[in-house]
Chains A and B, each alone.
Chain A
Amino acid sequence: MFGQLFLKECRETARSLIYWILVGIMLFFFATQLGETEIAREPEKGQESYGMHQSEDPDVIMRNTLGTLADEYYRESYTTYPIGFAKTVKPDKKEQKRIGEILEEATGLDQGEIKKTMEEYYGSVTGLVAEMPMEPVDGLTYKRFKELMKEVDELLGGGSHYGEQYLAANGIEPMTYEDAIKEYHLLVEKDGLSGGYARLFSDYMVIILGILPVFLATTREMRDRRAKMQELIYTRRAKSGTIVVSRYLSMIVMTLLPLFLLSFLPLAECIKVAASDGIRIDHLAYAKYILGWLLPTVMIVTAVGMFLTDLTDTAAAVLVQGVWWFVSVFTGVQGIDGGAYGWNLIPRHNTELNYKGFHDGFVQLVSNRVLYVSFAIIIVALTVGIYSQKRRGRLNVRGKILADRKSKS
């Protein structure tokens, strides 16, 4: 029964308008974000640019961080991300004075020199304002630097660029030829070329997969009520587990299907470049990343959608997932270049490079993904329980909500 029901649910998903809207959004996102991706060739000396990379060098981190701090101090306006959302903080005079003292200690420049440097910088910049590095004072240890930045972060209420967990993200710097060659070899040798691009593909697609599946799950579960099919299905012989799990798996498979198909395009590009450059490619890289990186997000988002819709018979899941997605996207920005995956629903790695960051954060990433798969399985099990209760006329949350509204009106 399960297999036949699963196939029927897949067919039903394929016939729903919402599914094709989702596929359309995936295609659009892919085309706009990844459509023009060029597969890297071996860097040549004398190139105008070798791109940017994340440096772990304390000097780079200190220079960039102090530049950002000087800029924000000069403007007397600081951006923090306390719960993932950007927030503008304007410290009072006492706090601003203390930040100035910290900046003086860290750079060795007095207030007048800092102001003059910033005025010159803004006067010289045309077009977009780029990051401005500022040299730390001679003899400033990284330990003392971190202590000072921690104090600034506390003065700003946390979640600033100066918090300990965010300092590493400030280490972005242009790559030299040597850096670029090193990164390229890691990409070719460790990632089999396609691995790095599969990671980039996952980085973009996971953003929309943090929200899209909830629409599919919510509309599927609400469809029974709208079509007045609930009682017809409830009185059937099929077990609640069979009904819920077949629907769940069909939505997962149907969501992954366009991802697999889309992945053939960049994979074909990788194969082409690999063939001409004599590189041994990992043909299964995209499949591995879709299953390892994207599947857990699809699983949890779909599970949340089904659970809340079955529990409330409303579209509340869209709202809940919307908030979770928003917070995840904004907090994910902090570790956008990879390596700092944390427990984010939407782990980011917005480069085909930085294999080292991926390697170093791999255990964390696996833990993250296993956690969400586990949660998804638990939530699906709870959904089966709720569905079973509803079949017996229990847990009529929607009826209670409507009755409450009626009695209040």
Chain B
Amino acid sequence: MSAEIRIKGLNQYYGKKQALKNVNLTIETGMFGLLGRNGAGKTTLMKVLATLLPKSEGSVTICGKNVEDAAKIRKIVGYLPQEFSMYGNMTVYEAMDYLGVLSGLSKSQRKQRIPKLLCKVNLQEDQKKKVKTLSGGMKRRLGIAQAILHNPKVLIVDEPTAGLDPEERVRFRNLLCEIAEERIVILSTHIVGDIEATCEEIAVLDEGCVIYQGTVAELIKMAEGKVYSAEISKKELDLLKKRYVVTSMLTLGNNVMVRFIADRKPFDSAKLCEAGVEDAYMYLMHGKRGED
């Protein structure tokens, strides 16, 4: 049985509105990043893969199993939803135990796996704490632990780092990378930094369409020779913003150090820079808008 996800010609509708348009993707073991703006269709795609939405058209197989066979898919997929929460009055251990029962784990399996997983997500000291008392970061780590409780072949994680402080975010990314060593992990996010730090393979969704699939390096390559930086006066900033896509800026007194995308050198003081994932992503999104 192949450890891969195959999506062919997937169309998804909410009434008359089309949320996914002819999506074709192949995802293999390891971290896979799904990048896109809010409302691009990422959560819809995640929900189709997690059997929470019936697909409208196309074919989706996970490890050789049709996604319509929900009972089989649920055995091999772990899911951490965008808005993750648990019954607040349960302790961390009880919440895991409850979901373990729903995952079909025996008492001995739960006794063995839950402490291990809580240790893995660094919550072993907090297992007697009520879920409602956990911080946002601790809740997300608990979310990961519950999602891999039944040792799934595929882990789907939807916008997991939103609202986390920088330290928790780094810890969370590292945790995902560890987990992805032996399974497919799909990380859906609109935060480019998460993708840059964790994923080799990515896809970019925009308005329901896959506008890019490949490696992060290839994406960066697309923007090579198109990223410039320059120190300009604050008065010139508005004009620059109108003409180019500004990817970052830093105020320096009356001047601003800007980083922007341009097809060719726009003025003498502009310096060509090495492109990053964020630049490449902005170039891709801007380029697509330009084609429209």
Chain A residues proximal to chain B, CB less than 8 Å: 1, 4-5, 8, 12, 15, 223, 227-229, 231-239, 243, 391-394
Cross-interface CB contact of B87 among A227, A235, A392, A394, cutoff 8 Å:
A227
Q: Which residues of B are at the interface with A, using a C-beta cutoff of 8 A?
A: 47, 50-54, 70-71, 74-75, 77-79, 81, 83-89, 97-99, 101-104, 107, 146, 150
> Tally of A-B residue pairs with Cβ under 8 A?
76
- B98: nearest residue on chain A (CB-CB)? A8
- Whether the Cβ atoms of B74 and A236 lie closer than 8 Å is yes
Give the residue of B71, B81, B87 whose beta carbon is less than 8 angstroms from that of A237: B71
A235–B84 Cα distance when bound, in Å, is 13
Jot down 23 A-B pairs with beta carbons below 8 A, ordered by A.
A5-B101, A15-B89, A227-B87, A228-B85, A229-B85, A231-B52, A231-B81, A232-B81, A232-B84, A232-B146, A235-B50, A235-B52, A235-B74, A236-B74, A237-B75, A238-B103, A239-B71, A243-B102, A392-B51, A392-B53, A392-B54, A393-B52, A393-B54
Closest CB-CB distance, B157 to chain A, in whole Å? Answer: 13
A229 close to B86 (CB less than 8 A): yes
Closest residue on chain B to residue A400 by CB atoms: B15
Chain A residue with the shortest CB-CB distance to B131: A227
| A232→B98 CA distance, assembly (Å) | 11
Bound Cα distance from A231 to B74, whole angstroms: 12
With A5-B102, A233-B102, A235-B52 known, 4 other A-B pairs at CB within 8 A are A231-B52, A237-B104, A238-B101, A238-B103
CB < 8 Å neighbour of B102 from A12, A227, A228, A238: A238
**Closest chain B CB from A395 CB (angstroms):** 11
Expressed in whole angstroms, the Cα–Cα distance for A229 and B107 within the complex equals: 22
**Assembled-state Cα–Cα distance A235/B71 (Å):** 9
What residues of chain B lie closer than 8 Å to A5, measured between beta carbons? Answer: 101-102
Which residues of B have CB within 8 Å of A239?
Answer: 71
| Contact A223/B87 with A232-B79, A393-B52, A394-B54 known, Cβ cut-off 8 Å | yes
* One of A8, A12, A227, A391 near B51 (C-beta < 8 A): A391
Which residue of chain B is the closest to A3 with respect to CB atoms? B101
Which residue from chain B places its CB closest to the CB of A246 in the assembled complex? B101
**Given A227-B86, A391-B51: A237 in contact with B79 (beta carbons within 8 A):** no
Chain A, Cβ-Cβ closest to B102? A236
A8 to B79: give the CA distance in the assembly, Å. 22
Contacts A235-B52, A236-B99, A392-B54; A228 near B83 (Cβ below 8 A): yes
- B85–A227 CB distance below 8 A: yes
Q: Which of B52, B75, B78, B97 has the most CB of A within 10 A?
A: B52
User: Please, which residue of chain A has its CB at the minimum distance from the CB of B90?
Assistant: A12
B70 in contact with A392 (CB, 8 Å): yes
B113 to A: closest C-beta gap in Å: 14
**Bound-state Cα–Cα, A4 to B53, Å:** 28
Q: Can you name the residue of chain B whose Cβ is closest to the Cβ of A393?
A: B53
- Which residues of A have CB within 8 Å of B81? 228, 231-232
Across the interface, name the chain A residue whose C-beta is closest to B88: A227
Residues of A within 8 A of B74 (CB): 235-237
Q: Are B52 and A391 interface neighbours, CB within 8 A?
A: yes
Q: Which residues of B contact A231 (CB under 8 A)?
A: 50, 52, 79, 81
CB-based nearest A residue for B81: A231
Residue of B nearest to A236 (CB): B102
Q: Specify which chain A residues have a CB less than 8 angstroms from the CB of B104 in the assembled complex.
A: 1, 236-238
